[in-house]
Structure 1
Amino acid sequence: MKPAGDPFAEGIELFNRRAFFECHEVLEDLWRPMRGPRRLFLQGIIHLAVGFYHHQQANPPGAERQLRKGLKKLAGYLPEFDGVNTARLYREALVCLEAIVSGHAPEQFPEIHSSSFV
């Protein structure tokens, strides 16, 4: 169960429900004032959410660009950061990117798996 009033948990829940635009909005509000390593980590997740939103809107170039940015940022946080299984997220997002680049729809979107809450 996610802690009440936890914007990070809310953002992950939105991501996992495929509400990528809303996820980006929630996490961006958390990200803006943040400093330190968690800022870049959140920015990576935000880029992934925006990339998947672009895919939902039939914008492959925008999806590819944002997914590449997100993967580049997440690469520094493998295999786990802040309770998130970043290695799994990275692998699954990379599979999606490869599908989009080859002109196909991803079979499924990744989910963010976190040990911080269930």
Structure 2
Amino acid sequence: MRLTIVMDPLLRQGIHLFNQREFFECHEVLEEAWTPQRGPRRLFLQALIHVAVGFYHCQRGNPLGARGQLRKALRKLAPYLPSCEGIDTALLYREAQEQLARIEAGEPAGEFPRIHHGPV
């Protein structure tokens, strides 16, 4: 599914925080963007929130929480591949999937990905 919506300031701020590895703060900002939404955009933002919270749990050494959030993220992000709102969702999906595989194998978290985005 591909949405063509101009990137709003809250999403832009959330991406910036995500790319700075400030996952808790990212989740807070994205929830602010998510709350008033309905339909596909709401589900897309929810997927990004789950990715951020999953990585936050990785940072905090909580593999159980990370695993649950990343599984939810992958399910919710799948309909928005390969890109949505200018975000390379295919790359984010693949990197979240790799992080989940490391967690499930009992390995330490790997390097956290960045959200790559361009024009909508």
Per the TM superposition, whether the score is higher than 0.5 is yes
Q: In the alignment, is the contact (CA less than 8 A) between 1:95 and 1:106 conserved in 2?
A: no
Between the aligned residues of both structures, percent identity stands at: 58
**Partner secondary structure for residue 70 of structure 1:** helix
The corresponding residue for 1:79 is 82
TM-score by length of 2: 0.90
Q: How many residues align?
A: 113
What TM-score do you get using the length of structure 1 for normalisation? 0.91
Alignment root-mean-square deviation, CA: 1.3
Q: Are 2:51 and 1:45 aligned?
A: no
Distance 2:74 2:96 in 1: 8
Structure 2 partner of 1:35: 38
| Structure with greater contact order relative to length (CA < 8 Å, sep ≥ 6) | 2
Q: Give the Å deviation of 1:116.
A: 3.2
3-state DSSP of counterpart to 1:81: coil
Counterpart residue number, 1:104: 107
In structure 2, relative to structure 1, the CA distance for the partners of 1:105 and 1:64 (3 Å cut) is same
Structure 2 unaligned regions, length at least 5: 1-7
Cα deviation, residue 107, structure 1: 2.5
Please identify runs of 4+ aligned residues in structure 1 that moved more than 6 A.
none
CA deviation profile, 1:18-69 (whole Å, cap 9, x unmatched)? 1000000000011011112111011000001001111111110000000000
Gaps of 5+ in 1: none
